[in-house]
Amino acid sequence: MTALSDLSAHSAEALEAARARVCALHAELTRWNLVTWTSGNISERVPGTDLVVIKPSGVTYEDLTPDSMVVCDLRGERLDGRHAPSSDTDAHAYVYRHMPEVNAVVHTHSTYATAWAARSEPIPCAITAMADEFGDDIPVGPFALIGGDDIGRGIVATLDGHRSPAVLMAKHGVFTVGKDAKAAVKAAVMCEDVARTVHLAREHGPVERLPQEHIDALYDRYQNVYGQREGSDT
Ligand SMILES: O=C(CO)[C@@H](O)[C@@H](O)COP(=O)(O)O
């Protein structure tokens, strides 16, 4: 376990950067209308350490500062911070312990996606934007009570080996994962967007899933070709 007093200068710098990054990204949750009052949270693994930076519980988004972020270990134990950590800390910590490729977790109750979660219904991969980002239907995870690591177990059981970085936890809301906090926030923004679009489409009739070969081709293009690639001068 990494104790804060044992951190190298490099890791201490990484921790300060993660505090600032995680704090700032909470503004994206409100900017994109993904949360109500204090109802969502972001955490990020501090690169090169066994530390996690997470939102304090129940503190309004406008009052968050880098300094108010809570630092925990991978068991969810608070190592630094004057506030209690998010009530979902044990869930986030469980994900970090069991999905080493995941460096960030985001939780929201965004309206349309949570409406699908309330029905325990996966969102069918019916539009290109879904195939791009999620590569599949957005799956539903089991219902779990808030507070322990049961939510984390449900997230891991559902997302491990799945292309989707988002899971709709039944009767609860959205959890997304990513290689960093920005990627996990992006997945949360896109999850709400596609949840709304597919919901609206269904109001006018049945919605068909894209053929699997189109989902595969779209996912491959978006993940491996789309945008600016490293080394590209365009
Ligand atoms: O999902 C829930 C409650 O339903 C919690 O995650 C949410 O209110 C956020 O709690 P925290 O302020 O992060 O403790």
pLDDT of residue 101: 97
pLDDT of residue 229: 84
Q: Taking residues 215-226, report their average pLDDT.
A: 98
Q: Taking residues 132-155, report their average pLDDT.
A: 97
Q: Taking residues 5-26, report their average pLDDT.
A: 96
pLDDT tens string 102-143 = 999 999 999 999 999 999 999 999 999 999 999 999 999 999
Q: Reading across the β-sheet that carries 104-108, which strands appear in turn?
A: 78-80, 70-73, 51-54, 41-45, 104-108, 173-178, 166-169, 140-141
pLDDT tens string 187-208 = 999 999 999 999 999 999 999 9
Reported as a pLDDT band with limits 50, 70 and 90, residue 230 is confident
The domain spans of the chain are 8-224
Superfamily designation of domain 8-224: Class II aldolase/adducin N-terminal domain (3.40.225.10)
Mean pLDDT score of the chain, rounded to an integer?
Answer: 96
pLDDT of residue 5: 84
pLDDT tens string 48-74 = 999 999 999 999 999 999 999 999 999
User: How far does residue 145's CA lie from ligand 1's centre (Å)?
Assistant: 11
Mutate to test the pocket of ligand 1, among 43, 62, 86 (most ligand atoms within 8 A of CB): 86
Token pair 């968050």 in the structure block, residue: 64
pTM (two decimals)? 0.96
Q: Which residues line ligand 1 (CB under 6 A)?
A: 38-39, 41, 55, 57-58, 86-88, 107, 146, 173
What phi, psi does 16 have (nearest 5°)?
A: -65, -40
